[in-house]
Amino acid sequence: MSSIILEARDIRYRYPRGMEAIRGISFHIRKKEKIALVGPNGAGKSTLLMMLNGMVRPDTGMMLFDNQPVLYDPASLRILRKRVGFVLQNPDRQIIAPTVYQDVAFGPTNLGNNETEVREAVTRALRHVGLEGFERRPPHQLSGGEKKRVAIAGVLAMDPDVLVLDEPTSGLDPSGSEDIIELLDELNHEGKTIIISTHDVELAYPWADRAILMKSGRILQEDIPEVAFGNYESVRSAHLSLPILLELHRELQERGFPVQEKKPRTILDVMHCIEQLVQKPSGRKGPGRITVVNVDGDDLDTLPGWRSSRGSTAIGAMGTRAKQYAEKSGVRLDFTYGVIDKCILKALLGKDTMILTTGSMVARVYQRVNNYGTESGVHIPVLPFVSEKNDADENTDGPS
Ligand code: ADP
């Protein structure tokens, strides 16, 4: 298990002339964890998040970063804020410069980097969030989702270890929210610890490694989402609703269906549950194949031809660069969110699919499909895309 990066020890905080917002909280967050802080308005989520990078100092108790107590002198705070990046709920409050470039350059410039280093940091950050070419645009002309991405790029330009995001999907439409969550997954996969606050239970439940349920300045539950959200009393007392998948599982159990104890996190888990309850339709074909394309590394010249010769193959894209590639090359995407699970679901119906992705996420596809195979006993072939007329040999062990 990875080491602890952030810790709170019995912290309390009262706003000047306000009520006590944090009432004795302790927790720890490990490196590379995805944490969702969930609770109703006024629970203390924003206040707690602001303690993670020293914006708010607890009245009593102690915050630790990398096992060291947080110090609140300006020099120590500068170092802490470089390592713990904070994305405010409202991007209009975070974006301050007249152009996207200047805004994203603000952090690295303040760190004293030279012009070349700043340009490299800005280019890298904008590429990461899928906003290459937006450098000269005035931020106030961008959409809500784009502004959010500029704010995230501004933080990424400092290359922090931890990203803290207050309500990252608030005000975004469902597809904008999915894009942000995908981006956070991508960053997490690259090694960053991600902490978000939200009152969107359906978003937090499948996404988080651990959920922290808060109410009235206290922690009600802190555990893997199945357990944290599985305590109905806590969920109800935090004025939250049960994730729909847990509700379904509970209803099946209460009606005496012999469903497995393990609670479902995804639609795939639910289908597995249901398939154990009812006889599968007869005549079902063997599983379909999943072809994995690395849009950064593979030779893609023959991809359009490959695609048109397999018109029924559904295509998904994971990650910003893969989605950009699809848009640029006119590839119509069937899935842009929860792509691996959706491809597994199709494969179980005997249908072939293709996943466009990049870098280390290629390995994640193999890992997820192989894990599913181990859990369910259904072996789904995963193949690398090969730029030739003939298909590649089957390979379920992962990319070489
Ligand atoms: P959440 O993010 O869960 O909605 P907050 O951390 O914003 O909760 O607020 C926690 C409590 O602190 C609430 O009761 C809120 O009214 C109070 N509070 C937040 N900001 C201030 C402030 N600047 N001054 C006084 N009270 C505040």
| Residues 91 and 42 placed together within one structural domain of the fold | yes
| Residues 216 and 296 placed together within one structural domain of the fold | no
Residue 68 lies in a domain: yes
Q: How far is CA 33 from CA 110, 187, 212, 371, in A?
A: 29, 11, 12, 20
Return the pLDDT at 282. 64
| Residues 233 and 318 placed together within one structural domain of the fold | no
Q: How far is the centre of ligand 1, averaged over its atoms, from the C-alpha of 21 (Å)?
A: 6
**CA atoms lying within 13 Å on the CB side of residue 305:** 10
The DSSP secondary-structure symbol of 283 reads: T
Q: How far is the centre of ligand 1, averaged over its atoms, from the C-alpha of 118 (Å)?
A: 36
Looking at the chain, the number of H-run helices and the number of E-run strands are 16, 14
| Residues 168 and 219 placed together within one structural domain of the fold | yes
Ligand 1 near 256 CB (within 6 A): no
DSSP string, 187-209: HHHTT-EEEEEES-HHHHHHH-S
Ligand 1 near 46 CB (within 6 A): yes
pTM: 0.88
Residue 147 lies in a domain: yes
Structural domain of 138: 4-242
Return the pLDDT at 400. 42
**Tokens read off for 385:** 């895309």
| Residues 322 and 233 placed together within one structural domain of the fold | no
| Residues 217 and 261 placed together within one structural domain of the fold | no
Q: How far is the centre of ligand 1, averaged over its atoms, from the C-alpha of 20 (Å)?
A: 9
Ligand 1 near 44 CB (within 6 A): yes
Q: How many structural domains is the chain composed of? A: 3
Q: Measured in Å, how far apart are the chain's first and last C-alpha atoms?
A: 26
Residue 284 lies in a domain: no
Q: How far is the centre of ligand 1, averaged over its atoms, from the C-alpha of 18 (Å)?
A: 8
- Judge whether 241 and 47 are in contact, CB under 8 Å: no
Q: How far is CA 106 from CA 101, 120, 129, in A?
A: 9, 13, 17
- What gap in Å lies between CA 87 and CA 170, rounded to an integer? 12
| Residues 349 and 364 placed together within one structural domain of the fold | yes
Residue 400 lies in a domain: no
| Residues 124 and 234 placed together within one structural domain of the fold | yes
3-state secondary structure of 92: helix
| Residues 169 and 257 placed together within one structural domain of the fold | no
Residue 378 lies in a domain: yes
Report the CATH number that the domain containing residue 324 is assigned in CATH: 3.40.1010
**pLDDT tens for each residue of the chain, 400 residues long:** 679 999 999 999 999 988 899 999 999 999 999 999 999 999 999 999 999 999 999 999 999 999 999 999 999 999 999 999 999 999 999 998 999 999 999 999 988 899 999 999 999 999 989 899 999 999 999 999 999 999 999 999 999 999 999 999 998 988 888 889 989 998 999 999 999 999 899 999 999 999 999 999 999 999 999 999 988 888 988 889 899 999 999 888 888 888 888 899 999 888 888 877 777 666 667 899 999 999 887 777 777 777 777 778 899 999 888 988 888 888 889 998 889 999 999 998 899 999 999 888 899 999 999 999 998 888 999 999 887 654 444 444 555 4
| Residues 273 and 295 placed together within one structural domain of the fold | no
| Residues 238 and 255 placed together within one structural domain of the fold | no
> Using CA atoms in the order 224, 87, 368, 223, what is the torsion angle rounded to 10 degrees?
0
Ligand 1 near 169 CB (within 6 A): no
- What gap in Å lies between CA 278 and CA 186, rounded to an integer? 36
| Residues 253 and 238 placed together within one structural domain of the fold | no
Residue 273 lies in a domain: yes
